[in-house]
Structure formats: C-alpha cells, structure tokens
Amino acid sequence: MCFTFSEKKSNIDSIFAEKGNFGGREDERMDWAFIAGHVPDYVGGAWVTLRFGLYGVGCSLVLGLICCLLRYFRIPVLRSIAHAYIELARNTPLLVQLFFLYAGLPRMGIRLSAEACAVIGLTFLGGAYMSEAFRSGLESVDKTQREAGECLGLTRGQNIRYVLLPQALATAAPALFANVIFLIKETSMFSVLAMMDLMNVADTLRTSGGRTIEVLFMLIVAYLALLLPVSLAATFTERRLRYAGFGNQHSV
C-alpha cells in the first residue's frame, strides 16, 4: 500500500510542527516493519481497553438493574435518588466526569487511582444507560404478567427472576448490546487518566515516532478487532430474539 502526498509537500513540515509531530518528514510508504514491531504495544493497549471496558460493563449492568428495579417497584426515596442519578449521568459527558473524578476530587481529600477512576467513571455513565435499557424492557412486559405472578404467590424476587426479567431481557437485548459497544468505545477517553489503553498507546507512538498513518491504521484495526465481534454477536442475538416476544403483542 502506498500513500502519496501529491504536490503539497512544501508546507508539510510546518503542519507537523504545529500538530506536535516531531519526527520530521516521514517516508511515503507504509512502514510494515514499524507496524510489526509495535503490535505488542497495541496488544497491551487492547488488553487494558478490554479489561477495564468489561469491568465497567459488568458494574454498569448491576447498577443499572438495581436502579431500574428501584424505579419499577416504586421504592420510596431510593427511586428518586436513582432517578436523579440517571438524569445526572445521562446529561454529562464522560470526559468531564473523568476530569472531575481524577483531578477534582483529590483536592477535597478523596484520592482515587487511575484504574479506580476509570471503572467508577464508566460505571457512573453506563449504569444510567443500562437502567434505561432495562426499563424499556420491563415496560414492554405486560402488567398482567406481574400481577399474575403475584396472584400465584411468587415473592417479589421470584417474580423478577422467573417472570419479569426473562421477558424483559429479550426486548432489552438490542439496547443492552448497543450500550456494551458504546461503553467499550467510551474507554478511549481513559487516556486522560494516563492509562495505557489503545488510544494512549497510539497517541504516545504518534508524538514520539511521528509515523502518524501507521499508528492510526493500527489503532483502527485494533478497535475493529475488539468491537466487530461484539457487534456481530449483537446482530446475531437480536435476530434470534426477535421472535421471543410473549403474550400480548400489538398486532398490526
């Protein structure tokens, strides 16, 4: 593969000086040796991205389910807290949340490691999104299902576990999968916490080595390798679950 610059070569050095690229003029060809040499860096970065992404996704699912159930069963006080939290988390960017956690809180005596900030930040954001996904799932379950469960003498826990959740999950699955992909994507902001995730690996290589195209090419390939399987799995599951609707489907 070969990338050429046409005739704009003259001002290229100044561009790179301005954009923080100190490597001087680059070779015009794709440097495959460079790519091969830095694969381990990216594998390490992908591992960080995946690991903390999955921690965040796991905690978000738990937090989201709890918040959603608090609201669904109208538990007093707690349900308002859950609602306030959801509004707060959904209406602020993760980047700002991370800055507040990582740089703001230590000033008030609450010191968290970068890793803790990453998981807390992602969970704070993800919990709200997951809760909304669960809620749309639960709302799609007919109310008679819940009432029938109660009439049969199921406890609340049994009702949730055997009646409500299985049906809700089938409807909520697409939204939940979309959230998983969204959250793993959002880990690209962990670089502001000085964590060596994919984004930060790429950024460090770019500023030090100056091989912008190779670095970005590898970054894209790495994210594709991480997220394409998730996306395909989501499509597959969605197709399987499309007929899982139960009871009163609004017929058209």
Partner 1 sequence: MQDLGISILFRGINFQRLLLGLWVTLRIALITIGISVALGLLFGLAMMSRSRTARGVCRLWLETVRIMPQLVLLYLVYFGFARLFGWDLEGELSAIIVFSFWGTAEMGDLFRGALTSIPRHQRESAAALGLTRSQINRYILLPQTARRLLPQTINLSTRIIKTTALVKMINVTEVLKVGQQIIGQFYREPSAAFWVYGTVFLLYFLVCWPISLAASRLERKWENA
**DSSP, res 92:** S
The reply on whether position 6 binds partner 1 by CB under 8 A is: yes
Question: Which phi-psi region, left, alpha or beta, contains residue 153 (left: φ > 0; alpha: ψ -120 to 50)?
Answer: left
2: β partners: 29
Cα separation, 225 vs 237, whole angstroms: 19
* Residue 16 burial (CB count, 10 A): 17
Residue for token pair 């609004």: 250
29: contact with partner 1 by CB under 8 A: no
Report d(CA 43, CA 51) in Å as an integer: 12
C-beta closer to partner 1: residue 16 or 34: 16
Nearer to partner 1, 10 or 153 (CB): 10
11 lines the binding site for partner 1 (CB under 8 A): yes
Contact track, partner 1, 205-234, x by CB under 8 A: -x-----xx--x--xx--xx--xx--x---
Binder of partner 1 out of 29, 90, 161, 240 (CB under 8 A): 90
Q: Which of 104, 166, 245, 247 binds partner 1 (CB under 8 A)?
A: 104
Among the candidate windows 101-109, 115-123, 149-157, 160-168, which touches partner 1 by CB under 8 A? 101-109
Closest separation in Å from C-beta 97 to partner 1: 7
Look up residue 79 and give its two tokens. 């349900």
Strand pairing partners for 29?
2
Interface with partner 1 (CB under 8 A), residue from 96, 116, 152, 233: 96
139: nearest Cα among 87, 72, 64, 65: 72
- Least distance (Å) from partner 1 to the CB of residue 161? 29
Q: Which of residues 176-205 bind partner 1 (CB under 8 A)?
A: 181, 185-186, 188-189, 192, 199, 202-203
Question: What is the size of the binding site for partner 1 (CB under 8 A)?
Answer: 51
The end-to-end CA distance of the chain, in Å, is: 53
Q: Where in 233-252 is the site for partner 1 (CB under 8 A)?
A: 252
The runs of H, that is alpha helices, within the chain are 12-18, 32-72, 78-90, 94-99, 114-140, 143-151, 156-158, 165-186, 198-209, 212-241
- Contact call for residue 85 and partner 1 (CB under 8 A): no
Phi, psi of 29 (to 5 degrees): -95, 155
Q: What is the length of the chain? A: 252
Contact with partner 1 (CB under 8 A) among 21, 60, 131, 179: 21
Q: Which residues bind partner 1 (CB under 8 A)?
A: 3, 5-6, 8-9, 11-12, 15-16, 18-19, 21, 26, 87-88, 90-93, 95-97, 99-100, 103-108, 181, 185-186, 188-189, 192, 199, 202-203, 206, 212-213, 216, 219-220, 223-224, 227-228, 231, 252
